[in-house]
A and B are shown apart, each in its own frame.
Chain A
Amino acid sequence: MTISLIVNGAPQTVEITDGNTPLLWVVRDLLNLKGTKFGCGKAACGACTLHVDGEAIRSCSYPIKLAEGKTITTIEGLGNEQDPHPVQQAWIEEIVPQCGYCQPGFMMATAALLNIIPEPTDADIDQNIINVCRCATYYRMRKAIHRAAAIQKETTAKTKE
């Protein structure tokens, strides 16, 4: 089976026998983008969260065959050191990560949240950010999410000027 998709802006063609292979393993092992993590393989922890057509998806429960023609963004494509996404910038400013393993999933979920709710309330955050962090960095994450919203607002305002 041949799957054509766009990953972090670049067109990719994937040859795969089992079309049910989770997108997670395609991204990690075939495309060698290791930022998207395996945590549970059961869509429970959120470590594998990435974006499919701009929406948060848990890639361990997303068969590759559904990705045909889709646009995928992983943590590597969200931003980089030269041009960080507001969420990444906020994560740096609040010094959020400890072990860091779950953080890409949280950042992707947060970026998806800010796409839909640019200035989320604490209740919005509680409902939408339901990934698992064992280091329990939730306290700083919440601060970082609010900060990311502020950075995004500032950036948007600047772009409009």
Chain B
Amino acid sequence: MATNKKRISRRRFLVRGGLGTIGILAVGTYLFRSNIRRGLAGIANTADTPFMGNTKTPIIWFEVTKNNDLILHSPKVEMGQGTFTSLAQMAADELEVSMEQMRVVHANSSSGNIDSFATGGSTSVSALWVPLRELAATMREMIKTEAAKKMKASVTDLEISNGIVTAGSASMTYADIVQGVDDWDIPDTPPLKELKDYKFIGKPIPRVDLKDKVFGAPLFGMDASMPGMLYGAVVRPSTIGATFLGADTTKAEQMPGVVKIIKETDFVGVVANSQIEAENAKKKIKAHWKADKNWQTADIEELIAVGKGEAFVIQKEGGPNDFLEDATGLIQSEFKSPIGAHAQLEPNGALAFVEENKATIYMSTQVVSITRDEIADRLGFDNEQVNIVPTFLGGGFGRRLHTPNGIQAAVMSKAVGKPVKCFFTRKEEFQNDTFRPPTHHILKATLAENGLIEAIEHNVSSGDVAFGSPMVPSIAEPILGADLGAWRGGMIQYGAIPNYQAISWRVKLPFATSWWRSLGLLANTFAIESFIDELAVKAKKDPVEFRLAQIQDDDRGHRLKEVIKAAAKKAGWTNKVINERAMGFAASTDANTPCAQVVEVSIVDKEIKVHKVTCAMDPGIAVNPDQVRAQCEGAIIMGMSASMHEQMFVEDGQLQPTIYGPYQMALMKHAPKEIDVVLLQNSDVPGAVGEPPLGPIAAAVANAVFKLTGQRLREMPLKLA
């Protein structure tokens, strides 16, 4: 890939004992990009994010253990998406070790190997595709060079397999080779192997965290513990826009097990000897809040409306306005989506231990470096004094991009001088979530005489997704105008239509809204792909043919066409209703990954029943096809859950409901019994996987329901009249 000779700079090589580790190979910064604008523009255009490494030293990528295992310190966190496994495959292939020898851990912030951006946006594997393999290949060559010295052989005579270097009849393990070496030669970056030569990349390798997760290992932030640990509880507001004024804690102080009441200007909390004691004492705290308005769902619906707020044209081709303004034959439709909660199973929390000169925080976070910086800032520490130890995440989905919980745990630990663990109750999770904003869409189109679309326009009104997040610098707002998260999936993907445009209407909501797996994709695709289906019906055309006829002839168009054809073929697409079952179709392109889905739906007991989903997706290289499938299966059912069941309301200033059950979600009984995933590879790099398959499902279901019942469902959650 690289035309220029490049060399990975060595930061430090460490020898550390006592932890079963004999050497830490620390190779330098990779692809550090300081130009945030360039990064942002990349994100905005394609949702591609470069790997944004960190220049702080030392940066540790790999360790060799005494047992000759390789530990990869991952700068990306594992939240279920399978990144650890893909990274292990990539590293193992270039390092010439077996999968059994590969271990993956989260890089601590003190190891330096953390991403200054985040884990999210379906970019972990794609961003590390080249850097990680080059680092691994470099390390392999370094070991080979050292092996040649120790074995008194020529580098070219060496053979490597499973972390053992052989020269003739002699052999040495990596562990033997790295032992005692403190001066390493860093070679030019070696050429990477060809795809066909990889043993693990492209294979359905079982997840590296599979057994730990099946046998109940303490992997998660909630599972972290330290000797002498105390338990904290923070009072959180239940009302939208509530400002903390103060608290009466007299009763709480008298409660059993209370160690200390923590009164800060922005929150009040209690530290106690046990979880239950902390919770009981917290209930006795009378916190005073001030909220300006008693918000209701109707207020929010009034805010979220196309035509209100600031408008930004995010896509324009041809002269759509010439056709869509007062045109005869104008077809217009409206769609809506509700407020969505993350509802990840592991509540947010943290275990913090703040000592005189340093702080250690164990927690689930998608933004390790931001979490660190924020905590350091609050404690008055330098960033280097704060070590964030990321744990496995009990679900991410964007919920762990804002991490004030880390600060609160740290503040409480500092106050008592002991480790303090503190986490959200479920009610607090629901009321203090950073929600998927509700949306309102108006679509307009005219059809040409040949029945194809002459002009089309998509208007989306949404609360912010990306703006206001600590990940997106404030400079992004004036540069981009429209919220790049809100319009994700909101552009017209049928480039052969002569006139089209997409307009994003930005609305500020009174509660926090943010990233929710796939951002705007779910709602935008629901609106656009339902509308496309309506147009196909109007044009009396088969919806699959109708789509294929309006896709441009370029690489992106080709990949989209291919997934559409593949899904239709695999599903045995028919536009007829057979045995009271109908098929519904939809397609989307997200972060350069096209995805098409066909659903088979019937109406059972007046409810929509999804029997089968066929999903064709082209993520480029699937480093681990099994986990790509798993992501498709999960995204499809999560998308069904969000589009057929879930909905948050605003009642008397509070976000409701606050518990699973009343917050209805898809359960086992709602999941399709058949999910058929077809993977295409019309791109030679790995692309986005975790979010794209969330796109088509809602529209596909709604389109099938229309075919069955004649009801065009225009609002999520999809319910029959």
Is any CB of A less than 8 Å from a CB of B in the complex?
yes
Chain B proximity of A27: nearest CB distance (Å): 11
Q: Does A31 interact with chain B (Cβ within 8 Å)?
A: no
Q: Please name all residues of chain B whose beta carbon is closer than 8 Å to the beta carbon of A68 when the two chains form the complex.
A: none
Q: Does B300 interact with chain A (Cβ within 8 Å)?
A: no
Q: Please name all residues of chain A whose beta carbon is closer than 8 Å to the beta carbon of B661 when the two chains form the complex.
A: 44
Q: Does B395 interact with chain A (Cβ within 8 Å)?
A: yes
Contact with B along A99-110 (1 / 0, CB 8 A): 111111001000
Q: How far is the CA of A129 from the CA of B425 in the complex (A)?
A: 24
Contact with B along A35-50 (1 / 0, CB 8 A): 1111111101101000
Q: Please name all residues of chain B whose beta carbon is closer than 8 Å to the beta carbon of A103 when the two chains form the complex.
A: 213-214
Q: How far is the CA of A25 from the CA of B393 in the complex (A)?
A: 20
Q: Please name all residues of chain B whose beta carbon is closer than 8 Å to the beta carbon of A66 when the two chains form the complex.
A: none
Q: Which of A41, A44, A92, A132 contacts B214 (CB 8 A)?
A: A92
Q: Please name all residues of chain B whose beta carbon is closer than 8 Å to the beta carbon of A91 when the two chains form the complex.
A: 214
Q: Please name all residues of chain B whose beta carbon is closer than 8 Å to the beta carbon of A75 when the two chains form the complex.
A: 215-216
Q: Does A17 interact with chain B (Cβ within 8 Å)?
A: yes
Q: Please name all residues of chain B whose beta carbon is closer than 8 Å to the beta carbon of A79 when the two chains form the complex.
A: 215
Whether the Cβ atoms of A135 and B638 lie closer than 8 Å is: yes
Whether the Cβ atoms of B216 and A92 lie closer than 8 Å is: no
Q: Please name all residues of chain A whose beta carbon is closer than 8 Å to the beta carbon of B463 when the two chains form the complex.
A: none
Q: Does B206 interact with chain A (Cβ within 8 Å)?
A: yes
Q: Does A18 interact with chain B (Cβ within 8 Å)?
A: yes
Whether the Cβ atoms of B207 and A95 lie closer than 8 Å is: yes
Chain A residue, CB-CB nearest to B347: A38
Contact with B along A77-102 (1 / 0, CB 8 A): 01111001000100110011111111
Q: Does B211 interact with chain A (Cβ within 8 Å)?
A: yes
Q: How far is the CA of A102 from the CA of B665 in the complex (A)?
A: 15
Contact with A along B137-164 (1 / 0, CB 8 A): 0000000000000000000000000000
Given that A92-B214, A99-B396, A100-B80 are contacting pairs, would A130 and B667 also be in contact in the complex, using a CB cutoff of 8 Å? yes
Q: Does B219 interact with chain A (Cβ within 8 Å)?
A: yes
Q: Which of B206, B275, B395 contacts A101 (CB 8 A)?
A: B395
Q: How far is the CA of A87 from the CA of B392 in the complex (A)?
A: 23
Chain A proximity of B129: nearest CB distance (Å): 21
Q: Please name all residues of chain A whose beta carbon is closer than 8 Å to the beta carbon of B53 when the two chains form the complex.
A: none
Q: Which of B394, B630, B638 contacts A100 (CB 8 A)?
A: B394
Whether the Cβ atoms of A40 and B659 lie closer than 8 Å is: yes
Given that A39-B345, A95-B626, A140-B630 are contacting pairs, would A125 and B668 also be in contact in the complex, using a CB cutoff of 8 Å? yes
Q: Please name all residues of chain B whose beta carbon is closer than 8 Å to the beta carbon of A76 when the two chains form the complex.
A: 215-216
Q: How far is the CA of A40 from the CA of B636 in the complex (A)?
A: 24
Contact with B along A124-158 (1 / 0, CB 8 A): 01110110111111111110000000000000000
Whether the Cβ atoms of A137 and B426 lie closer than 8 Å is: no
Given that A32-B225, A88-B215 are contacting pairs, would A134 and B345 also be in contact in the complex, using a CB cutoff of 8 Å? yes
Given that A98-B81, A130-B668, A136-B666 are contacting pairs, would A35 and B217 also be in contact in the complex, using a CB cutoff of 8 Å? yes
Give chain A interface residues in 20-79, CB to chain B under 8 Å: 21-22, 25, 29, 32-42, 44-45, 47, 74-76, 78-79
Q: How far is the CA of A79 from the CA of B220 in the complex (A)?
A: 20
Whether the Cβ atoms of A132 and B207 lie closer than 8 Å is: no
Contact with A along B662-679 (1 / 0, CB 8 A): 000111111111010000
Whether the Cβ atoms of B206 and A21 lie closer than 8 Å is: no
Whether the Cβ atoms of A139 and B395 lie closer than 8 Å is: no
Count of A-B contacts judged by CB separation below 8 Å: 180
Whether the Cβ atoms of A134 and B225 lie closer than 8 Å is: no
Give chain B interface residues in 191-219, CB to chain A under 8 Å: 206-207, 209-219
Q: Which of B81, B223, B345 contacts A102 (CB 8 A)?
A: B345
Q: How far is the CA of A122 from the CA of B343 in the complex (A)?
A: 26
Given that A35-B218, A100-B209, A136-B641 are contacting pairs, would A29 and B426 also be in contact in the complex, using a CB cutoff of 8 Å? no
Whether the Cβ atoms of A139 and B80 lie closer than 8 Å is: no
Chain B proximity of A53: nearest CB distance (Å): 20
Q: How far is the CA of A99 from the CA of B396 in the complex (A)?
A: 8
Q: Please name all residues of chain B whose beta carbon is closer than 8 Å to the beta carbon of A78 when the two chains form the complex.
A: 216
Q: Which of A17, A41, A80, A107 contacts B256 (CB 8 A)?
A: A17
Chain A residue, CB-CB nearest to B218: A34
Chain A proximity of B639: nearest CB distance (Å): 9
Whether the Cβ atoms of B206 and A95 lie closer than 8 Å is: yes
Whether the Cβ atoms of A45 and B660 lie closer than 8 Å is: yes
Q: Which of B217, B220, B343, B633 contacts A134 (CB 8 A)?
A: B343
Whether the Cβ atoms of B274 and A135 lie closer than 8 Å is: no
Q: Please name all residues of chain B whose beta carbon is closer than 8 Å to the beta carbon of A18 when the two chains form the complex.
A: 276-277
Chain B proximity of A2: nearest CB distance (Å): 16
Chain B proximity of A100: nearest CB distance (Å): 3
Whether the Cβ atoms of B216 and A34 lie closer than 8 Å is: yes
Q: Does B637 interact with chain A (Cβ within 8 Å)?
A: yes
Q: How far is the CA of A40 from the CA of B637 in the complex (A)?
A: 21
Residues of B within 8 A of A (CB): 79-82, 206-207, 209-220, 222-223, 225, 256-257, 274-277, 342-347, 392-397, 423, 425-426, 626-627, 630-631, 633-638, 640-641, 659-661, 665-673, 675
Add 10 more A-B contacts to A136-B640, A138-B668 (CB < 8 A). Answer: A42-B426, A75-B215, A76-B215, A79-B215, A98-B81, A101-B346, A122-B673, A132-B343, A139-B633, A142-B668
List the 8 shortest-distance A-B pairs measured between CB atoms, nearest first. Answer: A35-B216, A101-B394, A99-B80, A100-B213, A98-B80, A75-B216, A136-B637, A138-B671
Residues of A within 8 A of B (CB): 17-18, 21-22, 25, 29, 32-42, 44-45, 47, 74-76, 78-81, 84, 88, 91-92, 95-104, 107, 122, 125-127, 129-130, 132-142
- 22 A-B pairs, CB-CB below 8 angstroms? A25-B276, A34-B220, A37-B220, A38-B222, A38-B423, A45-B345, A88-B214, A88-B215, A92-B214, A95-B206, A96-B214, A97-B210, A97-B214, A98-B631, A99-B344, A100-B212, A129-B668, A130-B668, A136-B641, A137-B633, A139-B671, A139-B672
